[in-house]
Amino acid sequence: MSEEQVDVLICGSGSAGLCAAVWLARFGINYKILERRDGPLKIGQADGVQTRTVEIFDSFGIGDDMLREAYHVLELAFWAQNIEGGNKDNIKRTRYAPDKETEISHQPHVILNQARLNELMISQLGSNPPIQYSTEVKGVEVDESVDITDLSSYPVKVDAVSADGTHKTYRAKYVLGCDGAHSIIRKSLGFKMLGDSTDAVWGVMDIYPLTNFPDIRKKAAINSSVGNLLIIPREGDHMVRFYIELPSGTMAKEVTLDDLQSHARKIFRPYEMEFADTFWWSAYAIGQRRADYFHKNHRVFLTGDACHTHSPKAGQGMNVSLQDGHNIGWKLGHILTGLGKPKPLLESYVIEREKTATELIEFDRGFTKLFNSKYREEHGISQEQFAEKFVQAGRYTAGQAVRYDKSGVVDVDEGKDKEVVRNVTVGMRFPTAQVVRFCDAKAMQLVKGLPADGQWYLVVFAGDVSVAEKKERLEKVSAALANVVNRFTPAGVSPDSVIDRVLVISGDRKKVEQEEIPDFFTPVTGKWKQKNLFKVYADDESYNSGHGHAYEAYGIDPAKGALVIVRPDHYVAKVSPLDDNLEQSTQKFFEGFLSPVA
Ligand SMILES: Cc1cc2nc3c(=O)[nH]c(=O)nc-3n(C[C@H](O)[C@H](O)[C@H](O)COP(=O)(O)OP(=O)(O)OC[C@H]3O[C@@H](n4cnc5c(N)ncnc54)[C@H](O)[C@@H]3O)c2cc1C
């Protein structure tokens, strides 16, 4: 049997596997994806893209295509049984609500099919993406004697078979089990899915409707006398998706398209509902379960549906799966380029994503009950309360409620953090605010200045540096942070490639000259070895887009200033006051997981 060695072997080219691969490609890691299908996903599966996922795509530089092609969800319509109005089998609208509160994200919630999202991620894997299709993984074994710090061995063995029956063995340093709900990797490790033993069956169909239902181009939740239905308008103006919860006891395999269509017709009474065409449909069973373990020896990691499954109501599956891949990808990138220490980085994947999966399942249980007519009746939950709870769940369903606990890569100081930066939470993703770029007066979102190329960010809020005292403080801060960055940046690489820096000043930017900005914030980079001017921003009035009031939005006192340390995946790792302890505390934090240069 032939053998091949690869540093990271990804089993499955779904949302989780591809997102991890985007990072590995950026870090130049030797990796390969094995995929059972004979080519990329073409149609179907998930479609709801949370604001957090849009932010991730934007940070990878592929947000514009997504936003141009997608349906933008702006308003929710709630429909329910017309209890007072005569015929209880008819439905009536109960209310409208905004889909997303403005402060949740500057990005919208959109709908775009999973196949297209996968394609966008594949576009980031180079001209010859290392995806081997028609290859089925059969099992995995780990040599447990190899230490977590050993980066020269290939302790994981994966057996795979291609469509022509050829068997092959892969030896890898790390394996990602991204092989979906029926994961062979998980089964082969002997891990179990814990949780509900019964599965709810959902029908989903992408259809071209012929209807007089007024909210057919809005995201709508319908609670009718015969069951629940969610409308998700699709990209491209004509197609609409229906999610239909089927009666308990339904067997997914026995469901037909006719069943789904006749059920939908009943739900929409008194409106007409006919189907000009059906593009795709499926019926699938979902239980609320998570794997008992997420890793084996910190060499094999489960991601996505392989370690958590839940109902599609809140549109979480694809998003949370993709975000698992997003979490592990940059950590493996750090380790395999020799920048990072394996133990804290790999342990943090398990701590962070196990917690996220557990919370997701708890949330989904509550959300599922809310959709259950019998439960609502027994607990006296009115249609208005249903709509209210649905809207309240907005931050969670947008993917913005994830909060990582203290770990090797998150330094939470509950008592002090909020004194430094009131509206930023360590462990949550770094929010954005509009600022003005110092070099060219362009108004832009600050996160646009933090592209996801694998580096950490030191975001320094220095206050009004036209004032001598603040200018002096900035000079001291720059010298301290330059010492830290130099300790972790190998010779010969760009000075901003491991730990990058961003400066946000406050006040009238025209009172400050470029030459007054310390060199630390204008490092010499790129092919022509130019001073990089794109790392300095002002919280100031712009020419055409108003004032972002960034200091106020972040809750930072310009007189005191602050340092916010942002991870490559844009989660906030630490905040610090600009005091005499800055160099020591920042260095201590990075020493925990980065390897100092000799
Ligand atoms: C038929 C179907 C319909 C769905 N519909 C919806 C929906 O309407 N809404 C929603 O929110 N969610 C839906 N989901 C769930 C959503 O698609 C998942 O939550 C999401 O895709 C999980 O991403 P993932 O990367 O973990 O797994 P997946 O996207 O499932 O990717 C796993 C990949 O691994 C491959 N694979 C599996 N086993 C092997 C093996 N042994 N060897 C090699 N490759 C392997 C698979 O072919 C697949 O490409 C659906 C899932 C399915 C399967």
- Which residues surround ligand 1 with Cβ inside 6 Å? 11-17, 34-37, 44-46, 48, 114, 136-137, 178-180, 184, 204, 282, 284, 304-306, 312, 315, 317-318, 321
* pLDDT recorded at residue 44: 67
- How far apart CA 270 and CA 470 sit, in angstroms, is 68
Q: What is the DSSP string of 220-240?
A: EEEEETTEEEEEEEPTTSS-E
Cα of 155 from ligand 1 centre, angstroms: 27
Q: What share of the chain is helix, strand, coil (3-state, %, to 5)?
A: 30, 30, 40
Sign of CA dihedral 89, 93, 95, 100: positive
**Given phi > 0 = left and psi -120 to 50 = alpha, else beta, which region is 198?**
beta
Higher per-residue pLDDT: 215 or 316? 215
| Tens of pLDDT, residues 21-45 | 999 999 999 999 999 999 999 986 7
| Tens of pLDDT, residues 143-162 | 999 999 999 999 999 999 99
Please check the confidence at residue 85 and state whether its pLDDT lies above 70. Answer: no
| Tens of pLDDT, residues 487-521 | 999 999 999 999 999 999 999 999 999 999 999 99
155 is catalytic: no
| Tens of pLDDT, residues 370-418 | 777 677 778 888 878 877 777 778 888 888 889 999 999 999 998 899 9
Cis link prior to 577 (omega < 30° from 0)? no
Residue bearing the CA closest to ligand 1, atom 7: 46
Cα of 339 from ligand 1 centre, angstroms: 33
**Residue 48 Cα: closest atom of ligand 1:** 11
**pLDDT band at residue 5 using 50, 70 and 90 as cut-offs:** very high
- How far apart CA 392 and CA 189 sit, in angstroms, is 39
Higher per-residue pLDDT: 251 or 484? 484
Please check the confidence at residue 200 and state whether its pLDDT lies above 80. Answer: no
259 is catalytic: no
* pLDDT recorded at residue 199: 66
Please check the confidence at residue 299 and state whether its pLDDT lies above 70. Answer: yes
* For the chain, percent of residues with pLDDT exceeding 90: 82
| Tens of pLDDT, residues 513-548 | 999 999 999 999 999 999 999 999 999 999 999 999
Residue whose pair of structure tokens reads 């994981």 in the numeric block = 156
Closest to 15 in 3D by CA, of 41, 36, 38: 41
Mutate to test the pocket of ligand 1, among 11, 15, 32, 45 (most ligand atoms within 8 A of CB): 45
Higher per-residue pLDDT: 1 or 176? 176
* pLDDT recorded at residue 159: 98
Cα of 88 from ligand 1 centre, angstroms: 38
353 is catalytic: no
Q: Contact 162/291 with Cβ under 8 angstroms?
A: no
Please check the confidence at residue 437 and state whether its pLDDT lies above 90. Answer: yes
Q: Out of 47, 58, 206, 500, which one is annotated catalytic?
A: 47
Residue 341 in tokens: 């220490």
| Tens of pLDDT, residues 306-335 | 999 887 767 788 999 999 999 999 999 999
Residue bearing the CA closest to ligand 1, atom 10: 46
| Tens of pLDDT, residues 588-598 | 999 999 999 97
Going by the DSSP 8-state scheme, the letter that residue 543 receives in this structure is: S
- How far apart CA 569 and CA 521 sit, in angstroms, is 21
* For the chain, percent of residues with pLDDT exceeding 70: 98
312 is catalytic: yes
Choice among 96-105, 229-238, 268-277 with the minimum mean pLDDT = 96-105
| Tens of pLDDT, residues 259-274 | 999 999 999 999 999 9
Cα of 179 from ligand 1 centre, angstroms: 7
**Given phi > 0 = left and psi -120 to 50 = alpha, else beta, which region is 457?**
beta
